[in-house]
Structure 1
Amino acid sequence: MRPLKHARRAVLAIALACAIAPPALALPGDETLLLDICINNRCIGIAPVIARGDDVLVDLAALQAAALDTEGVVPEQLGERQFVSLRQLNHGSTFKIDRTLLRLDLKLRADRLPRQRVAMTTRAQSEAGLAAWSAFVNYGASVQDNGDGTLFLDGAFGRGYGALRSTGQWDSEFGWRRGLTRFEYDQPDAVRRWTVGDQYATPRDPLGGGRLLGGVGVERAFDTDPYLVTFPRPYFSGVLESPGTVEVYANGALIGRRDLAAGPFTLEQLGIQPGRNDVRVIVRDPFGNRSELATQSYYGGSARLLTRGLDEYAVRIGAPRTGSGLGGEYNGEVAYQAWYRRGLSDWLTLGGRVEGDDRVRNAGLDAAISTPVGEFAFALAGSDAELLGNGRAVNGQAHAAYYTLAMRTWSLGLGTRRADADYRNLSDPAALLLGPLRVEDYASFAFTPDTAWSLQFNTGRQQREGEPSLRSWSATGSLRMGGRTQMMLSAQRLDSDLFRDTSVQLSLNIAFDRDNVNIGLRQHDDGTTKRQGYGFDASRSRPADTGFGYTVNAQRDENLDSAFAMLEYQATHARFAATASDHDGDTSGSLFMSGALVGIGGRMFATPPVESGFALVRVPGLANVPILRENQVVGRTDARGDLLVRDLLPYYANRV
């Protein structure tokens, strides 16, 4: 009965195909068939086939649906369909019509099979889940021994990808001050975020300025797709004659393993670090044999570069707000900033920026270029501004250039930036307080031959408007002694027309599972006096669930003594801490309490502060059920069968 059943299925398939497919008009002597197309023993479906002597013509649409390469083959039009000769398609492969099973068996060479594209980075996307209404308020309260107190609040209310957020602070000196208030809406599919309210305008190039604005903004938000690779990474293409396992090694370390079928393949998004990398591709066949496909050297780009075809942008417009994010007012001006960058290739990224307000207009261009001898970055900008007081218009220019070269055991970085006296941009608070930066040069060199020791050297020069040039250099060496002990020696010198400052420090750090001990010796010379000092620091990290942590610090500099101690405890519903300090006989103390109130699923939960994402796990009617996150128990359900899980990473595939 089994052959009859197969025959009936074949007849039904032929009847169905005849009913839905227009007829193919064959030439005299041709035989038109409807056969099951099987490529290397993998059947892809039924399609029209024409037997012409010792050749076979197959429907072009069926071959393209099977991802076979038909480029360079001239199809033959028969009726309303196009057919491809198998002899033209792939010389050297074999084909055979099985009239008993009504199938066409096509045996292709491995290099003519459909190409497999495999991303070596893990891209487990998070599930959408339920878009429930939720809200939280983080609070932090402190009281000093003199009676002064502080209360800080950070709250949000939203659903799905939208949330209204605000911060605020009350203290004994200034009273209540509002922080940042904004509505944010994420579009993960478009990797985009909209913001209405308080937001910081920050440039992507080094010549732009920044302001706190109250307005509207939209930006590329790469954090909504945490598995997106934004900077260029190399790829490798090859052919497997038989199924096997491909392994990729970078600098001797395994970075990925994938099982592949026979045929062409492309390994994309190789997880290598920026800088020089020696990459090896190894294949293991089903019999355990190991062979090396390739060994190549790549220079991986840094975050300055965007992968080809990827862009990033930000557009913001609004009223500038005074203050540093607490209190302040909106002035009557309008400020804006917009910038755009795009990866034109894996070695070239270009960008542009405009920004301004009622008195300043600024525009600039930037570029990042990757070469076999390192990575270069350039920026140019010009400004048109009206000076305060006299209203005189001035034009200014600025430029910057950077170079980085990262090898396996050493790296080099160089940079320079210049801005003339009339150059202006959207000024941030630091520029208003310290003066705009006019000159900056730096050079850095790091040498890390292995994990046991390393050396780093830095030198630089800075000059702000109206200030003398400040020169600096530093050297740092570290030596790891065993698995828990590290010694570090550092020296630094600051030099200008006004002062000279030199410091040297030697420290020994011993790390245990949760405890850390540090002993340090130091000498400081300001050009007139020399001071020696030493210090001791011990700490225990706070556990992730419940438990104690502490910090103890004691320092002595010549005749000046200081000490600090903190004891903290994280409970199920809040976090508590007590501090005490002494500075040359002047003692003080304080008490802290922090936590969060979270509303979700029709309930309110009291927890330690919410610092990232959270979710409600509900097992109705089942109490004391252990809940695991990443195979680690994070708690048990309460009497109602609920547990609030904190510290989830937004947009990651958190396993709960």
Structure 2
Amino acid sequence: MTSLGKCAALKRIILYAIFIVFISPYASPAEDQAVLKLLLNEQDKGEFFFVIVPEGDILMPRNDFEQLGLKEGLGQDIQVNGATCVSLKSIPGLQYSIEEETVSLEIKASPSLFREQDIDTSYAKKYKPVVAQDRSAFLNYSFDYENGRGESFTGISGEFGVSVGDYLGTTTFTYQKTGDEKTAARLMSSLVRNYRDTLQTVTFGDFQAYPGPLGSAALLGGIQYSSNFSIDPSLVIFPPLKLNGTLETPSDVEIYLDGALVRKEKLLPGEFTFNDIPATTGLGTANMVIKDAYGRERNVITPYYYSNRLLKKGLHEYSYSAGFMKKDFGTKSFSYGKPAFLAFHNYGFSEKLKAGYAAEASTDVMNIGAYVSFLAGNAGVIDSSIAFSARSGEPGLSGMMGYFYQSRNVNVKLVARSDSRNYSNLAVKPSDDKAKIYSAGAIGFGGKKTGYLTAEYSYADMYQHGEASRVSLSYSRSFSERASFFVSASETRDSEVNDEILLGLHVYFGKGISGSLYSAKDNHSSSQALGIHKSPPPGAGFGFGTDILKSGDNNSVKGALFYQNNHGQYEINVTGDENNTGYGLSLSGGIGYIDRSIFLSRPITDSFAKVKVSNLKDVRVYHYSNEVGVTDSNGELIIPNLSSFQDNRISIESQDIPLNYTIRELSKYLSPSSRSGSLLAFSLNKMQALTGTLSIMRNRERAKPEFGRLFIQANYKILEGLVGRSGEFYIENIPPGTHQAWVMYQGSECRFSMTIPDSDEILLDMGDIACEQ
């Protein structure tokens, strides 16, 4: 017998002896007691006490039984000398036997007896993001000038915003001059409040409202109350993919979606469910590879359909808007018309059914409708909408049906809609032309190796305009990562028939430079274009674009030069043909404010942050592992392009931190509010020790406070140092400045001030310091 075997045997003998001494005096003489190793569905659960009764039953203490992972409340309770035990024989689906050679009890339980295991496969944060509530502001500006064909154009536009916590106030404005005509106007102004806990947004001011698939979008000035799922990007808002199964033994389970491993878990026996599995849109195949305790492997293949046109069960999606319709947009600052109300509300009734309603109304029109989307198994999603309207006593009706299917190689879209002659909403009047019947369909299939072929067809029968149709066939393929081409042919039937064919080629040459060749021909004309472009780099640098165009007998050339740095974006362009030459200039940028700092940047289109690394200079700062820049002499750097509500990972380079500094963390996750500025500080502690010699002046006599206690108060903290035999002292990490200090010696206290210079020395000698008492 090995040493491990001897130890295990000895352990069982000791446990059995304890059982005999403390329990067996209270057991019935007809009952046997034993300490046995328990194997539950081949899983070693350890050693337990058991009572073996003559009827073939085995009793186990209820407290031990509840620790096995089986469902609570199984079996019949039996009292054994005041202790509650469970009868294994009374549990249906449970078989057991005692193996004398291994001194063990082997139990085989039906999987239905185990507690169900729920595994959440959605993204779990292993960190706590910084949710900023700082005050900030920004101003974006743009200037454009064009001169050509005997006419000039000047355009100036801007956007100003202020953010305080989850409040954001913005306003936009424009000025345009074309020849002698001038216009200046305020465009959109609003105050937005985002609620992170409830995922809701309230907007006061100007906004765009959407009423549903059969309604019309409108610009309003008023108030809007809506759900906003973008506040929590990790929230699963579509019906999640779930996979479940049953295990008889402990097993390793791997989840593959279309051949890609997405999850791997070790599970106990019983029923299990994987929830919120991240899947791609459309038809796919899930494969569960299960390897049990005996080494046997089985595959469970499940086709699934994941759709973003549905809504997770129990989830509400809505928007309610009320105000006055905005008029003369872009030409007048405060021009509003009739009052209006727009709303829609969707609800996920199940993982396969989403339904909702929409409404819009004004003083002379009312429109209300309902729509539903449901999953037709693995065959795709069907949408259906209907709306009723009334304007000036004229009723109207509109209905729409849609079918959508997507897989790795095939996409299908079918839509049909019909409006009655008098159907209306906020944007459409009964007298406006509309479709008696409109239908459209598209089917595309292919892959990376074969290319993609798409066929489209649309037909409309208008009340006034009559019939019109269009059919097209297109094909695209990438030859490599650097080259691709497309070809498209179409026929349009309206008042006349027009056939058109398009050809295109795109080539990437490297270093941001690409070229394109384009040719088009229809029944009336033909055109060709050749272009070479270079995109500006993510940081500071140049870009350019050159296009040679030929349209019929007319030839023209376009050229542009771009430059951008951390302070703005600049462009100059020239256009010319055989008769005219024109040029244009443009510049754009942003001005930001955060933490009493004003900075220049490119246009600020989202959130930004001021990173502070103590007062250390030239520390590299990264955003998602991409270097943004280095800190200035104040240890600060501006990052102008963060994503609102996302967890932006910002880190600093450890090699740039001096050795006499300690830092708690090199990376942080920042979740800024919408278009807000945040202050993100990395806390560093300067490792610096102070030494010197202390003495106490008493009646003009100098005494050394040997083995006394030194205290210094700095930054609302009291730090303690050591004092040696001859008055030499040692204390660490006192910041620069003048601080109150005192020394305790022989039951008395002597107070004095200590001035710490700003020094990079790790060991700073303060010399002789005398304290007068």
Task: Give the alignment's TM-score, normalised by structure 2.
Answer: 0.69
Q: 1:587 Cα shift?
A: 1.9
Which residue of the other structure, out of 222, 225, 229, is the alignment partner of 2:232?
225
**Does residue 260 in structure 1 map to residue 282 in structure 2?**
no
Q: 1:401 to 1:328 in 2, by over 3 A?
A: farther
- Greater Rg over alpha carbons, structure: 2
CA–CA separation in structure 1 for the residues paired with 2:582 and 2:45 = 78
SS of equivalent residue, structure 2 residue 525: strand
**Does residue 334 in structure 1 map to residue 339 in structure 2?**
yes
Alignment of 1:240-279 (within 5 A): 246-252=253-259, 254-263=260-269, 264-279=271-286
Maintained 8 Å contact 2:256/2:263: no
Q: 1:120 matched to which residue of 2? A: 121
Alignment of 1:381-460 (within 5 A): 381-386=387-392, 393-427=393-427, 435-436=433-434, 438-460=436-458
Alignment of 1:13-92 (within 5 A): 54-56=58-60, 58=62, 69-70=71-72, 92=94
**Does residue 344 in structure 1 map to residue 349 in structure 2?**
yes
Which residue of the other structure, out of 166, 172, 183, is the alignment partner of 1:175?
183
Runs of at least 5 residues in structure 2 that lack an aligned partner in the other structure: 1-38, 99-105, 651-773
SS of equivalent residue, structure 1 residue 639: coil
Q: 1:443 to 1:643 in 2, by over 3 A?
A: same
Q: 1:194 to 1:385 in 2, by over 3 A?
A: same
Q: 1:433 Cα shift?
A: 12
Q: 1:596 matched to which residue of 2? A: 590
Q: 1:88 Cα shift?
A: 5.7
Q: 1:511 to 1:247 in 2, by over 3 A?
A: farther
Q: 1:116 to 1:557 in 2, by over 3 A?
A: same
CA–CA separation in structure 2 for the residues paired with 1:459 and 1:532 = 24
Maintained 8 Å contact 2:309/2:381: no
CA–CA separation in structure 1 for the residues paired with 2:503 and 2:399 = 39
Q: 1:611 Cα shift?
A: 2.1
Q: 1:199 Cα shift?
A: 1.0
CA–CA separation in structure 1 for the residues paired with 2:491 and 2:636 = 58
Q: 1:100 matched to which residue of 2? A: none
Deviations 1:456-483 (A, max 9, x none): 0101023555323331111111122233
Q: 1:346 Cα shift?
A: 1.4
Q: 1:85 Cα shift?
A: 6.7
Q: 1:76 Cα shift?
A: 10
Q: 1:482 matched to which residue of 2? A: 480
CA–CA separation in structure 2 for the residues paired with 1:335 and 1:82 = 71
Maintained 8 Å contact 2:424/2:430: no
SS of equivalent residue, structure 1 residue 235: strand
Q: 1:555 Cα shift?
A: 1.1
Q: 1:474 to 1:644 in 2, by over 3 A?
A: same
CA–CA separation in structure 1 for the residues paired with 2:85 and 2:363 = 67
Q: 1:328 to 1:123 in 2, by over 3 A?
A: farther
Q: 1:121 Cα shift?
A: 3.9
CA–CA separation in structure 1 for the residues paired with 2:422 and 2:74 = 61
Q: 1:75 Cα shift?
A: 8.5
| Percent of aligned pairs sharing the same letter | 21
CA–CA separation in structure 1 for the residues paired with 2:72 and 2:578 = 83
CA–CA separation in structure 2 for the residues paired with 1:72 and 1:426 = 64
SS of equivalent residue, structure 1 residue 334: strand
Q: 1:500 Cα shift?
A: 2.9
Maintained 8 Å contact 1:313/1:340: yes
Q: 1:327 Cα shift?
A: 3.2
Maintained 8 Å contact 1:355/1:426: yes
Maintained 8 Å contact 2:45/2:68: no
Moved more, 462-471 or 109-118: 109-118
Alignment of 1:110-259 (within 5 A): 112-124=113-125, 127-145=129-147, 148-172=153-177, 173-204=181-212, 206-239=213-246, 246-252=253-259, 254-259=260-265
Q: 1:441 to 1:41 in 2, by over 3 A?
A: same
CA–CA separation in structure 1 for the residues paired with 2:431 and 2:592 = 39
Q: 1:418 Cα shift?
A: 0.6
CA–CA separation in structure 2 for the residues paired with 1:286 and 1:174 = 81
**Does residue 492 in structure 1 map to residue 496 in structure 2?**
no
Maintained 8 Å contact 1:282/1:290: no
SS of equivalent residue, structure 1 residue 190: coil
Q: 1:375 matched to which residue of 2? A: 381
Maintained 8 Å contact 1:280/1:292: no
Q: 1:59 Cα shift?
A: 6.6
Deviations 1:120-162 (A, max 9, x none): 3434386143311111111111222366421111221112221
CA–CA separation in structure 1 for the residues paired with 2:296 and 2:61 = 39
CA–CA separation in structure 2 for the residues paired with 1:607 and 1:640 = 18
Q: 2:608 matched to which residue of 1? A: 614
Maintained 8 Å contact 1:214/1:330: no
Q: 1:352 to 1:71 in 2, by over 3 A?
A: farther
CA–CA separation in structure 2 for the residues paired with 1:240 and 1:642 = 56
Maintained 8 Å contact 1:536/1:554: yes
SS of equivalent residue, structure 1 residue 231: coil
Maintained 8 Å contact 2:355/2:372: yes
Letter in 2 for 1:416: A
Q: 1:566 to 1:355 in 2, by over 3 A?
A: same
CA–CA separation in structure 2 for the residues paired with 1:625 and 1:342 = 50
CA–CA separation in structure 2 for the residues paired with 1:346 and 1:210 = 29
Maintained 8 Å contact 1:321/1:328: no
Q: 2:617 matched to which residue of 1? A: 623
Maintained 8 Å contact 2:327/2:337: no
SS of equivalent residue, structure 2 residue 94: coil
CA–CA separation in structure 2 for the residues paired with 1:579 and 1:184 = 38
CA–CA separation in structure 1 for the residues paired with 2:620 and 2:589 = 23
Alpha-carbon RMSD across the aligned residues, in angstroms, is 3.7
SS of equivalent residue, structure 1 residue 223: helix
Q: 1:353 Cα shift?
A: 1.4
Q: 1:83 Cα shift?
A: 9.6
SS of equivalent residue, structure 1 residue 174: strand
Task: Give the alignment's TM-score, normalised by structure 1.
Answer: 0.81
